[in-house]
Amino acid sequence: MRRYSAGLLWSPVLVLIFGGAAASAGPSPDRWVEVRSTHFAVMTNAGEKDGRRIASQFERMHSVFRKLFPTQGDDSDPPIVVLAVKDRKAMQALEPEAYLGRNKVDLSGLFLRAPDRNYILLRLDADEEHAFATVYHEYTHYMLRKAGDWLPLWLNEGLAKFYENTDIDENEVRLGQTSADDLRYLRENGMLPLATLLAVDIKSPYYHDERKGSVFYAESWLLTHYLIVGDQALGTHRVHDYAQLLVEGADPVAAAQRAFGDLDELQLLLNRYLLERRFTYFKIKGELTAKDSTFQVRAVPASEADVVRSNVLICSGRTKDAQTLLEAVLHDDPGNAPAHETMGLLRFHEGDIEGAKKWYGEAAQLDPQSYLAHYYYAAMALRAGGSGEDDAIESSLRTAIELNPDYAPSYDTLAMFYASRRRNLDQAQTLTLRAIELEPDNLSYRLNGAEVLAQARKFASAVDVLKGAARLARTPEEIDAVRSRIQRFERDQAALDRAHDGPR
């Protein structure tokens, strides 16, 4: 069963290998080229032709997604960095160590999600069927990430599995191909009642339990496949209607009854669908071809490629290899600002906050236009206590906002800086509103916004914010964080009211 988190995301698929030691990522002797398209920046050591092919492939995948789900995704997002390496050795030098060694999974692709950058790691010599299934699966989750406050788990996972077996070549896109393993599992083990499937959430054993989870994932795919194929064939829009009801706040089971009809009848139809021997999939042709003429191509210096590779290594949990690579870059080019910035990230991952602050501060001096360097210097200074650095912290955060007005963490951090100093609280409220506007599904910003209101003694407003944020709380820890704050601010409001009323 796949597990997902806010940090490193990958799933084991593909072919088992025997033998193979962990490769280390030394300074790159290869020639690297970058092919930049609208939504992707493909960096490869396999040459311009392969770079163009991969960029075109992913742009077409993006177009397919937007064609079926035009309201999802955000074209203002920075391009995803695709690191397309030419062979297994280059892949093993970058992938997580958990996949290395005897009898481990031979990876063809990874989707790596980090707070400020997203990476796709591909191995270009992979030749198995659906080699990039994991990447397409996780890319679907990425595109749906802003629907997390209403999208039920079954549809989120069903769509990801629907897209994962996509094949893209020069002439067509083949979408919605069946999963033989899922069909076999359901035929042998049976399905959940639809009312149970539709109600599964992150607290359910069908999501957490390895044995129970298999049927949830397989049946989520089958139901999604059945509905999408049926809508396309019949000219209906059941999935769209269901999603609209969820956006409006309907319960997943009640919404399904309205959009799909009687669930018992749907269960019978789905059982019949499972037993079919032929399944429909889609072929989408020329209109989704990416315009290669718009791609920007440039040679990438080895030092730049090594910094990108070190970022991937940090995301993969291989901090020692990342440090070796960065030290080599800095030995040859002590003023390399991206290397300083990445060394700050490395120190942060290691828990060395003072070290991270030092490297980010130096990166901001070397490259005053790096909003991330300014932001992370201030964030690390605050984590370190910020003693005597208030002016530098405030200046850095305001510079980060000026350089990138669409980067939500800068607004949130500046708001909390003001709240912690009990000053500029009106500005702090404006800043938290902007952070929430930029990332409406981020629970932390809403929690922080409530804290800012509480600092201004607007406890009732803080409670209103938290009640609105409750729908975003997914884990037991998040639910408890919302509940405990509501209770605390209600007590504070009651005490304030008693103080205003005076003694009786």
Residue type, 138: E
Residue 398 token pair: 């305001």
Rounded-to-integer distance, Cα 386 and Cα 377, Å: 11
Q: Which CATH number covers residue 25?
A: 3.40.30
Sign of torsion over alpha carbons 99, 100, 105, 110: positive
- Tell whether 203 and 161 lie within a shared domain: yes
- Tell whether 36 and 127 lie within a shared domain: yes
- Tell whether 159 and 261 lie within a shared domain: yes
pLDDT per residue as tens, the chain (504 positions): 333 222 222 222 222 222 234 455 666 677 999 999 999 999 999 999 999 989 988 888 888 777 766 555 555 678 899 999 999 889 888 988 877 665 556 678 888 888 788 999 999 987 777 778 888 888 888 888 777 678 899 999 999 999 888 888 777 788 888 888 899 999 999 999 999 999 888 777 777 666 666 899 999 999 999 999 898 888 999 998 999 999 888 888 999 999 999 999 999 999 999 998 788 887 776 555 566 778 999 999 999 999 999 999 999 899 999 999 999 999 999 999 999 999 999 999 999 999 999 999 999 999 999 999 999 999 999 999 877 899 999 999 999 999 999 999 999 999 999 999 999 999 999 999 999 999 888 999 999 999 999 999 999 999 999 998 888 887 888 999 999 999 999 999 999 888 877 665
- Tell whether 368 and 437 lie within a shared domain: no
- Tell whether 127 and 153 lie within a shared domain: no
Residue 8, beta-bridge partner list: 112
Question: Of 114, 141, 168, which residue is a domain's last?
Answer: 141
Question: Of 106, 141, 176, which residue is a domain's last?
Answer: 141
Question: Of 120, 141, 162, which residue is a domain's last?
Answer: 141
Q: Which CATH number covers residue 402?
A: 1.25.40.10
Decide if 331 is inside a domain: no
Range of the domain at 161: 148-287
Decide if 60 is inside a domain: yes
The H-or-E segment that residue 104 falls in is none
Write phi, then psi, for 15 (nearest 5 degrees): -105, 140
Starting at the edge strand found earlier in the chain, the sheet holding 40-44 runs 8-9, 109-113, 118-123, 80-85, 40-44, 32-36, 296-300
Rounded-to-integer distance, Cα 241 and Cα 392, Å: 51
* Spatial contact of 81 and 118, defined as CB atoms under 8 Å apart: yes
- Tell whether 240 and 376 lie within a shared domain: no
- Tell whether 86 and 199 lie within a shared domain: no
Q: Which CATH number covers residue 465?
A: 1.25.40
- Tell whether 15 and 136 lie within a shared domain: yes
Decide if 31 is inside a domain: yes
- Tell whether 154 and 228 lie within a shared domain: yes
Instruction: Indicate the pairing of strand 118-123 with strand 80-85.
Output: parallel
* Spatial contact of 445 and 436, defined as CB atoms under 8 Å apart: yes
Decide if 328 is inside a domain: no
Decide if 117 is inside a domain: yes
Residue 199 token pair: 């109600």
Write phi, then psi, for 42 (nearest 5 degrees): -90, 120
Distance of CA 137 to the CA centre of its chain: 11
Rounded-to-integer distance, Cα 446 and Cα 465, Å: 7
- Tell whether 261 and 190 lie within a shared domain: yes
Decide if 367 is inside a domain: yes
Decide if 325 is inside a domain: no
- Tell whether 184 and 78 lie within a shared domain: no
Decide if 304 is inside a domain: no
- Tell whether 101 and 159 lie within a shared domain: no
CA angle at 241 for the pair 187 and 468, rounded to the nearest 5°:
105
Number of compact structural domains in the chain: 4
DSSP 439-498: -TT-HHHHHHHHHHHHHTT-HHHHHHHHHHHGGG--SHHHHHHHHHHHHHHHHHHHHHHH
* Spatial contact of 425 and 455, defined as CB atoms under 8 Å apart: yes
